[in-house]
Structure 1
Amino acid sequence: MEEAPSPSEAPSTFTDGIVSQARLLPEQPAVILPDRLATYDMIAQGILRVEERLRAVNLPPGEVVCVALASPIRHLILVAALFRLGVPSVSGETAESVIALRLPVRTYFQDAGGALTPGLNRILVDESWFAGPRLAANAARGFAREDDLCRIEVTSGSTGAPKAVSTTVAGFQQRLAAQITAESLGVRGRVLVLPRISGGLGFRVAARVLSTGGTIVCAESAREALQMTAAYRVDAIVASVQQARDLIREQRRAPIPCPSLGALLVTGALPTRALLNEARAWLCSRTIVHYGATETGPIASTPADLLMEEEGATGFPLPGATIEVVDAEDRLAPSETVGLVRVRTLAMGEPYPPRPKDEHPSLRGGSFYPGDRGRLTKEGMLILEGRASEIINTGGVKRAPELIEELVLRHPNVAEAAAFGAVGADGIEEVNLAVVTRAAIAEKALINWCAARGLEVARVFAVESLPRTQMGKIRRDEVKRSLIG
């Protein structure tokens, strides 16, 4: 059996920054929730206490465990303790969401009161795990090598079934370094993180902020986020496109002054120019567009004011990231030529568990193919048209569903909208809409309203809600299947 590394040999991880900050500024706020606050000292003590409980569990070395705790504070503490013990982990909103992926995971840490399943090792975590006498800080045993598996992240599944992607210790640290670069335009200090901590981006942002001595602020809704931004003098907000839209809607409905807000980072989908203009007007003039993926980590990050000349402008690659556009035969396309986007970063993930390449076709040849169509300008700016599988081709006119939805959302009675293509009776693809309405509106009236604005719509379906991923992306395939098969 291989001996555990000595503390001096173990690779450094984000937990070292937390412990160091707890020594230097123990009363510095680390995590702020609507109903509580945890200082760095409280977080560090929680990590040490949970470490003791985990040692008693006697987890098999190198075996991935699942963390499914609802509290962001407890979730962060438990994952940090696992890092310090050299145990790889995967996060989930619930244990069931991870079980459904059929990963080789046998041990699940979940909140007390959760259901138990025969054949699975479910460990209930309650308040006693985090309480107890004060403990002296000790050196972390950690992972043995930088190429050890340390973290599993789950993709959103917006274009299919969610997939699991593995990251090594070195890869995770590289992702945090890229996150720092991506956020260098102002996302620092007190950062309100709307993506959940149990998701890949939310956890990485939290780990980055805590490893550098900042403060994480968490909120459950757009209204709560604005209130906490004002009350706690938040410096920056990280939000998905849908979360940014919700923030704008709330500010327009009942404005809350947020003079401390210095940056808004928007991520998770293609933001339209209309959305970016509204974000700059109603939330923060320094709005930053972030392009990344679970498989790669951060890819591009660019201020919105550099992206306003052309719809679909997404940004310039970060240092260490390569963006290319290829044709159907995977050959590099010339500048300004539309094709499929492929990317590489210094922190590429791998399918988990390891599997034949044809089972994860978006990860091949050392590159990631996100399924986006776009082009590169001569200056290297990425211009996206949308996802190849979702672009609606109406008689040769290609439209990104996000742009259609942005127009439809201008109707005062439309609260949510999803656009998708379906072949009509004449064999030509047509635009279809699924809408959540604020007040009743006739299908023909909405079709005529769209036509007056240059958008031909074949059918409108009124629905109670739209299926979304954790980041707020619409599951358009699911919408289409449920409505027309």
Structure 2
Amino acid sequence: MTGNYAIAALERAYRGPGAVAVAAAGRNVAYGAYADLTISFALRMRALGVDGNSTVALLTKDLLAALAAIGAIGLLGARWAPLASSTAAPFAGTTHVFTFGPGTERADAVVIDAGWFKPEQSNAAALGQFAGATSLDATWMIAHSSGTTGKLKYMPISYGTLWNRSSVADLEGGAPLTLLNLFSPLSYVGARINAFNLVHGGTNAYWAPWGQLLAMGVNRIMGSPAQLSLAIFERTAPPAKKIRSVRVTGAQVTAKFVATALRYFHEVQVLYGATEAGTMTLGRITDVAAFDGSTGQPVEGVEVQILDADERLCAAGVEGIVRVKAPWPAPFYIGEPELTAQVFKDGWFYPGDLGRLDATGALCITGRTGDVLNVGGKKLNASELDEIIQAHPDVRDGYCFIDRNDFDGEILAIVATLKPGASRRCLAEIRDAAVEKLGQSKAPQRFYVTDTLPRNENGKPMRQEAAAAVGRFKVVEEDRG
């Protein structure tokens, strides 16, 4: 069936079986071997009853296992949903659970073991055994979104939507990508990007130290600002040889981040997107002096508007509510008719962001509608304080939230991860900068430090979860004024 990425990827594989599909330091998997592995997974799943009526839950962090499992499900025309953890409840209606890797064991799961990685058939003719989904409208993935509110929203992504969102080859200088994708291989962003990199003949890479990434030919890395800072910037000194590009999404990008990224990459690409609508805008930056804080121009087929509280169009430069008309939106949130009606209206998607359009049509995201915090009766756009926190050189990552307890009531707090050797003075410096830029009433009153910040899989801050987790954080400084 035209539009089934799994069949298209395997057809590509058998046309060029010797090319590298998956790269790891010292271990490459060729396209032919990847195709045979995917068919092996499909045969085993089919023997266990997976067919076009099945809903499969998957749990693994391993790139190759994820690619083979998702590809096998595509060959069988089934649908799948990622499991967040070994203790998470599967999506309602799940018929099969498959896991792979340490820490993924669960009583209701079939474990993908070493035997799965020994293909039973090794020829292109085996592909003809699989017809894939019977309709482009059939669900490929049951994706979830947001998590910033503490409640996941589930939506069906069809085979047709997946294909059409990804039908234009995402090349780098006219050549297929050799891509390191820092997003989980079972997240929507990870699965879609990795899957279609194979359709286009690219290579998906495992993480490795910088020199080994260069040796593997990696020409793009993709991730959120927090993922890139942790996996790249903190582990590697600015290198003598840069990688071609980095694509950043999942959170707002600051000038500090761009300046850092340009010491590692020739180009920074800022992407604004959502599972509900796909890629919405894209900006390309090669000089930090030219960075205007925007996420770039709407991509082909996408229209972006800014509305005031009465849903009237705002003039250029005026902040308001962002809405987007995209050609291949998700149809609805599963089991959430009221939320669906609020977010998908008259062909428009309302992502819950605040922003403005400049005179050229570039979009600048200024915050989240749900991230306007009430601080002593005054409104604070949380992203304004987040930017101050993240700009401090001693801060690895951080954001603000409302801390609620019986003693203080509600106060503005910060939770951060600090770089090794960070000075305690940095916290006072952050407060001073907040007072200068935002005013005394919007300065944080409590600082927490932790090893891991609550963020969702797309890198967005989970402020409510942070508020609920304060007992696990270390209080390092307070100012009750």
Q: CA shift at 1:144, angstroms?
A: 0.9
Q: Point out where structure 2 has 5 or more consecutive residues left out of the alignment.
A: 472-481
RMSD across aligned C-alpha pairs, in angstroms? 3.3
- Amino acid in the other structure paired with 2:258: L
The structure 1 residue matched to 2:9, chosen from 8, 12, 18, is: 18
Opposite residue 36 of structure 1, the aligned amino acid is R
Letter in 2 for 1:468: R
Q: 1:445 to 1:383 in 2, by over 3 A?
A: closer
For these two proteins, the number of residue pairs brought into alignment is 459
Tell whether the 8 Å contact from 1:443 to 1:460 is kept in structure 2 after alignment: no
Q: Deviations over 1:249-307 (max 9, x none)?
A: 336x6344334x21111111111122112212x11131110110011111111112599
> 1:160 Cα deviation (Å)?
3.2
Asked whether 1:414 is paired with 2:387, we answer: no
Q: Distance in 2 between matches of 1:354 and 1:423?
A: 31
* Correspondence 1:315 to 2:296: yes
Q: Give the partner amino acid of 1:304.
A: I
The AA in structure 2 aligned to 1:65 is V
Equivalent residue in structure 2 for 1:104, among 73, 93, 108: 93
Percent of aligned positions that are identical: 25
2:366 equivalent in structure 1: 385
- In the TM superposition, residue 382 of structure 1 has moved relative to its aligned partner by 1.1
Q: Decide whether aligned partners of structure 1 residues 187 and 307 sit closer, same or farther in structure 2, where only a CA change above 3 A counts.
A: farther
From 193, 196, 202, the equivalent of 2:184 is 196
Paired with 1:71 and 1:336, the residues of 2 have a C-alpha distance of 44
In the TM superposition, what is the alpha-carbon distance from 1:247 to its structure 2 partner? 5.3
Contact 1:187 1:237 in 2 (8 A): no
* Residue in 1 that maps onto 2:140: 150
Match of 2:261 in 1: 279
**More deviation in 133-142 or 158-167?**
133-142
* 3-state SS in 1 of match to 2:371: coil
SS in structure 1 of the partner of residue 370 of structure 2: coil
Letter of the 1:460 partner, please give it.
R
Kindly indicate whether residue 321 of structure 2 is the aligned counterpart of residue 337 of structure 1.
no
Q: Which moved more, 1:372-381 or 1:60-69?
A: 60-69
Distance in 2 (alpha carbons) for counterparts of 1:258 and 1:236: 14
Counterpart pick for 1:254 among 237, 248, 260: 237
- Partner SS state of residue 167, structure 2: helix
The superposition leaves residues 376-430 of structure 1 with CA deviations (integer Å, 9 ceiling, x where unpaired) of: 2232211211112213577999764344334334545433321235799xx9x97
* SS of corresponding position for 1:301: strand
Matched, 1:127 2:127: no
Q: Provide the rounded CA distance (Å) in 1 between the counterparts of 2:29 and 2:152.
A: 33
Other-structure match for 2:477: none
Distance in 1, Cα, partners of 2:186 & 2:367:
27
What is the CA–CA distance in structure 1 between the aligned matches of 2:173 and 2:351, rounded to whole Å? 25
Q: Secondary structure at the match of 2:270?
A: strand
2:78 counterpart residue number: 87
Q: How does 1:450-461 map to 2 (within 5 A)?
A: 450=433, 454=437, 456=440, 457-461=443-447
Compared with structure 1, are the counterparts of its residues 396 and 315 closer, same or farther at alpha carbon in structure 2 (3 Å cutoff)?
farther
Matches within 5 A, 1:146-185: 146-177=136-167, 180=169
Q: Distance in 1 between matches of 2:22 and 2:67?
A: 10
Q: What is the aligned partner in structure 1 of residue 476 from structure 2?
A: none
CA distance in 1, matches of 2:120, 2:37: 11
Please say which of residues 209-218 and 379-388 is displaced more in the overlay: 379-388
Question: Match of 1:450, as an amino acid?
Answer: A
Structure 1: give runs of 5+ residues left out of the alignment. Answer: 1-9
CA distance in 2, matches of 1:417, 1:358: 29
Residue 361 of structure 1 aligns to a residue whose secondary structure is helix
Shift in Å at residue 473 of structure 1? 2.5
Q: Is the 2:302–2:326 Cα contact (8 Å) retained in structure 1?
A: yes
Correspondent of 1:28 among 4, 19, 35: 19
Q: Which stretch shifts more, 319-328 or 42-51?
A: 319-328
- For residue 54 of structure 2, the aligned residue among 51, 59, 63 is 63
Equivalent AA in structure 1 for residue 93 of structure 2: P
User: Structure 1 residues 132, 266: closer, same or farther in 2, change over 3 A?
Assistant: closer
| Amino acid of the structure 2 residue aligned with 1:52 | L
Tell me which amino acid in the other structure corresponds to 2:445: R
TM-score, normalisation: structure 2: 0.84
